[in-house]
Structure 1
């Protein structure tokens, strides 16, 4: 029978469990084993924008499928003209 206990590092329970496990391992080598697994987080590469435009609304002109503000108003409130 095998029991796996996972506790996050830098928690009081982790330190207490490791100390207890080491003491048990000294007395009985066959009944307990300690293994620490380090999981590393993947780094995400952020790509900087290529164009230096000060006006962020310039790109809205390139959205051909996006309805105009008047069309959105008519869809939202059809009875109000």
Structure 2
């Protein structure tokens, strides 16, 4: 009888360990999902920042070209 109660206790202990293990795995999955979501949001922010930087750079280049053209126009007006 003692042997039987020992076996039952052993299996109850295993059951508890299995539940704890399953809980830890679920927690890891949840953390992993949050990690992926965070990385995706970060990637979106980086992409948006890059797009904005490219737009500003293009605008800046246009302004520089506009100033160069204006400078050439003024210089050519004085040389005539």
TM-score in terms of structure 2 length: 0.21
Name which one, 1 or 2, has greater alpha-carbon Rg: 2
TM-score in terms of structure 1 length: 0.21
In proportion to residue count, which structure has more helix?
2
Structure number with greater CO (CA < 8 Å, separation at least 6) is 1
